[in-house]
């Protein structure tokens, strides 16, 4: 990774390069814990729904080659609370009495199911080689896609582009099954090998989602504001705070439902 320039050079130039592009640095057997807290409020024609999620994911580095790491990951703990339209549902994977609830039966197959990806040391990109079947999530599968877990697992790693200085910006985009994410990153500061990066962007597009044997057409139009903190020594993200505002819609069985969504997410990574 890029080394932080000396203090004397910083004083003289007022600039700092982020890190050498030596890539992600992990060790075989290393354990990583990702905790994600999400608070979401959704406005619909039928009323307001508030959802709170607290998920803990465990990652373990099981193999290493000269170019890649093989990482197993699984959801270790999950807490949820859904409140809206006169109903309240909650679930805590640590409570035995919740295993037989409607949500417990829906989410039970997702817990502790080991998935695997290959992490490229140089680019930080991941390739899924083993994942759970989305249909195994049961009745709630359409709402809690396994892809959310993939994204959480991938969030632990980030490589700053070579040669970036404080104040520099760069952009990228991804397309996953018709959902396009565009982000612009700005290197805000570096202190004690922790880089702070401000992020703005959009998530938009349409996709089909299966749930309860029915097909839903989901359209997203979201604006994203985010701040990342990245360890420049090893490419591991330490914290992400994210705010998303969206005007989305869902079309199922010929009926369309408009939704205004605001969510706040805090992700912390321990290694």
* Per-residue pLDDT in tens (0 to 9) along the chain, 271 residues: 433 333 333 323 333 444 444 689 999 999 999 999 999 999 988 889 999 999 999 999 999 999 999 999 999 999 999 898 778 888 999 998 888 887 777 776 778 789 999 999 998 888 888 665 444 333 333 333 334 555 667 789 999 988 899 999 999 998 888 889 999 999 999 999 999 999 999 999 998 877 667 788 889 999 999 999 999 999 999 999 999 999 998 887 777 889 999 999 999 999 8
The architecture of the domain spanning 7-270 is Roll (2.30)
CA–CA separation, 171 and 184 (whole Å): 4
For residue 103, what are its two tokens? Answer: 């949500």
Radius of gyration, alpha carbons of the chain = 20
pLDDT in tens, 47-102: 899 999 999 999 999 999 999 999 999 999 999 998 987 788 889 999 988 888 87
List C-alpha distances in Å: 234 to 66, 127, 141, 162, 184.
16, 20, 35, 14, 22
pLDDT of residue 150: 55
Using the structure block, give the residue that is written with the tokens 């962007």.
201
- Report the C-alpha gap between 269 and 271 in whole angstroms: 7
Q: How far apart are CA 198 and CA 166, in angstroms?
A: 11
Q: Report the alpha-carbon distance of residue 25 to residue 198 in Å, rounded.
A: 23
pLDDT at position 22 is: 63
Handedness of CA 155, 161, 166, 171 (dihedral sign): negative
Q: Domain boundaries in the chain? A: 7-270
Phi, psi of 113 (to 5 degrees): -80, 120
| Predicted pLDDT at 143 | 35
Identify the CA nearest to 122 among candidates 166, 175, 160, 163: 160
């Amino acid at each position: 990774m890029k080394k932080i320039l000396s203090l004397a050079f910083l004083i003289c130039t007022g600039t700092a390069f982020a890190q050498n592009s030596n890539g992600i640095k992990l060790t075989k057997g290393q354990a990583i814990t990702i905790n994600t807290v999400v608070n979401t409020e959704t406005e619909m024609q039928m009323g307001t729904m508030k959802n709170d999620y607290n998920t803990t994911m465990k990652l373990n580095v099981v193999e290493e080659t000269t170019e890649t790491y093989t990482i197993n990951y699984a959801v270790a703990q999950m807490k949820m609370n859904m409140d809206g339209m006169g109903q309240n549902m909650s679930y805590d994977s640590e409570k035995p009495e919740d295993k037989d609830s409607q949500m417990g039966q829906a989410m039970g197959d997702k817990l502790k199911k080991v998935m695997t990806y290959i992490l490229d040391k140089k680019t930080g990109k991941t390739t899924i080689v083993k994942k759970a079947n989305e249909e195994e999530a049961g009745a709630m599968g359409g709402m809690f896609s396994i892809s959310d877990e993939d994204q959480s697992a991938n969030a632990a790693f980030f490589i700053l582009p070579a040669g970036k200085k404080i104040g520099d910006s760069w952009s990228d985009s991804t397309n996953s099954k018709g959902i396009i994410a565009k982000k612009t990153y700005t290197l805000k500061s570096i202190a004690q090998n922790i880089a702070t990066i401000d992020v703005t962007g959009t998530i938009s597009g349409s996709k089909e989602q299966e749930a309860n044997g029915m097909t839903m057409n989901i359209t997203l139009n979201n604006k994203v504001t985010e701040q990342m903190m990245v360890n420049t020594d090893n490419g591991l993200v330490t914290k992400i705070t994210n705010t998303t505002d969206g005007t989305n819609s869902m079309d199922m069985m010929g009926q369309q439902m408009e939704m205004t969504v605001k969510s706040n997410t805090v992700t912390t990574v321990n290694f």
